[in-house]
């Protein structure tokens, strides 16, 4: 389990380093997630050459354990928002407009896609 957790954190660290070093517009954790997926794809191709923790399901169980406690990871972000309420209040209108428009856009695209797929099915 420690090796699996270490690999997950290493993927995130490499993602952060790449995002910072190359000034990429993608957050480091997203790059780290892609690296984790690539690691799992590589594991499936290499078979016995990979460590046992990657082959016996420990990596997946470690990820599931982290996901089961995902709500705890939002606490620091919530504290950060509360600490910067002045910035939030100063930009309340643009943030509110962005939230409403993005919600309407997401619902519209989802409904249009559903209608398109429903018409295509026999």
Q: 62: which 2 tokens?
A: 């470690």
- pTM, 2 dp: 0.60
Domain boundaries defined on the chain: 1-68, 76-122
Q: Which residues contact 87 (CB under 8 A, 6 or more apart)?
A: none
pLDDT tens for each residue of 34-61? 998 898 888 878 877 777 777 788 888 8
Contact call for residues 73 and 12 (beta carbons, < 8 A): no
pLDDT tens for each residue of 76-91? 888 888 888 898 889 9
Percent of the chain exceeding pLDDT 90 equals 39
Q: Report which secondary-structure segment, H or E, holds 94.
A: helix 92-120
- CA–CA gap between residue 116 and residue 119 (Å, rounded): 5
The pLDDT value recorded for residue 110 is 97
């Amino acid at each position: 389990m420690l090796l699996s957790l270490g690999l997950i954190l290493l993927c995130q660290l490499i993602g952060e380093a790449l995002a910072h070093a190359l000034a990429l517009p993608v957050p480091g954790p997203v790059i780290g997630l892609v690296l984790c997926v690539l690691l799992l794809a590589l594991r499936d191709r290499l078979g016995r050459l990979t460590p046992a923790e990657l082959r016996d399901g420990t990596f997946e169980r470690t990820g599931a354990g982290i996901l089961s406690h995902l709500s705890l990871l939002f606490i620091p972000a919530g504290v950060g928002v509360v600490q910067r309420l002045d910035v939030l209040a100063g930009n309340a209108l643009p943030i509110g407009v962005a939230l409403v428009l993005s919600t309407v856009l997401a619902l519209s695209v989802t409904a249009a896609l559903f209608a398109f797929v429903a018409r295509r099915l026999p």
